[in-house]
Amino acid sequence: MSSLEALSPHPTFPQGFRPRRGLNWMCVGLTYASFYLCRYNLRMTKTQICQEYHFSNSDFGLILTGFFWTYAIGQLCNGLFTDKLGGKKAMLIGATGTVILNIVFGLTSMNSQSVVLPLLYMFVLVRMVDGWAQSFGAPGMIKINSAWFNKNERGRFAGIFGFMIQLGQIGIGWLAPALLSGFTIAFLTVPPLHWKWVFFVPAALCSVAASLVALFVKNSPEECGYEGVIHDEVAAAEGSASEEAPPISVVLKKILGNRMVWLVAAAYFCTGAVRQGIDQWFPAYLEEVHHVSKSSATFALILTALPTVAVIGSFLSGYISDVFFGGRRAPVAAILYFGQTVVMLAAAQFSGLYTMCFFLVLISFAVNSTHSILGTAAAMDIGGRKMAGFASGVIDSFQYFGGGLAGFFLGWLLDKFGWHAWLYSLAGFGVIGGGLMLLAMKLQSAGAPAKAAGH
């Protein structure tokens, strides 16, 4: 396929390519969704853990921050390793690690009289190591799919990626309450279980999903016999036709020397602070402020609505940036950042349950849209198929550095000032993110080198 055909809005592919690509991303997507089962299970057990061990919000937030910041550092390192290892191996390493560590987290709860470390710090330590393991997942996923999707398809692929993430969120949103409250399937009745099962069961599901990657996933179309189907615009711009991964020194220079990487990463820091500030704390907000039970229909509805609108936002933002902005992500992201600030400031003026749920849905739409197009599509645009792992690692690491603020520091604010400080403390990040995207647009219009990467 010629480069012009590959970059057209509706490229033609050889027979059998689309189904094979679909199988690839389905297995990769389900596995990455299972990572979220093993990540967002903690937020679903916040009330139970804090009540059982008398943890404060800042104590619980420390566990979150430990995970996020280790995950962020891991992204920087493991994104670089992924470009050498290949995406498939990276995802399998991450899946194996998070399976083991979720089991260990549950088992740790059975030893509340630990003589090694106080239990809180045992939880922090286990979750930190889990963060390192899971940090292989996103670079691995992006590395694989940068080889399977052309540039003008990547915004829409980012929507698919967003859907798989939210599938994990929806899954844990239904699974955790069922395990904690008990359930009946046909003739099988399962009584309410201890919260540790919210870690054991997702680990088992992640094992099943990872086996699909091991059996069916290929790193590139070439491994399936489809030569030259996907155009690597980054390699073409550099005049390189080799499929070999470049030396680490070259990768470091190309990615770390790209101004657009740092602009997107800084904006993604803002996305992480807001995204985790909402995602990790809204279940506790519903329980503690509005006394909404996890087994109630209202709780189930909001747990489904937030990921659902996040999926819609991921698809729409990817489609709009692909089709109407020629693969440029910054204009769409700027609108979303400023929009989420307006919504959060408006939401802070209200306190009713259903009004707040409505605003939370709008915030989820905006913040997950920027998460999708910047962290996935933008990373593939910048790095191409050879350096997408490290580009993703750098950019995504900043999301989780920002997310760490939504752990201990937000927990401290909630302990000190109460829930009315929640949305106010997050609103300013949208202004900063929007300003960074306006600067990115200015660099593009001035002919910055990163323009060739589609930003």
Amino acid code (one letter) for 190: V
pLDDT band at 218 (very low <50, low <70, confident <90, very high): very high
What are the pLDDT digits (tens) for 144-174? Answer: 877 878 766 766 666 676 677 778 888 998 8
Q: Is 249 exposed, middle or buried (0-12, 13-18, 19+ CB in 10 A)?
A: exposed
What are the pLDDT digits (tens) for 260-297? Answer: 788 888 999 999 999 999 999 999 999 999 999 888 98
**What percent of the chain has a predicted confidence (pLDDT) above 70?**
82
Nearest in space to 269 (alpha carbons), one of 360, 365, 397, 389? 397
What are the pLDDT digits (tens) for 9-60? Answer: 456 778 888 899 889 888 998 999 999 999 999 999 999 999 999 999 999 9
**H/E segment holding residue 72:** helix 57-85
DSSP string, 270-324: HHHHHHHHHHTTHHHHHHHHS---TTSHHHHHHHHHHHHHHHHHHHHHHHHHHHT
What are the pLDDT digits (tens) for 101-125? Answer: 999 999 987 766 554 568 999 999 9
**What percent of the chain has a predicted confidence (pLDDT) above 90?**
50
Mean pLDDT for the stretch of residues 185-212: 93
Give the CATH architecture of domain 15-222+239-453.
Up-down Bundle (1.20)
> Residues 6 or more apart from 263 whose CB is under 8 A from it?
436, 437, 439, 440, 443
Question: 94, 143 in Cβ contact below 8 A?
Answer: no
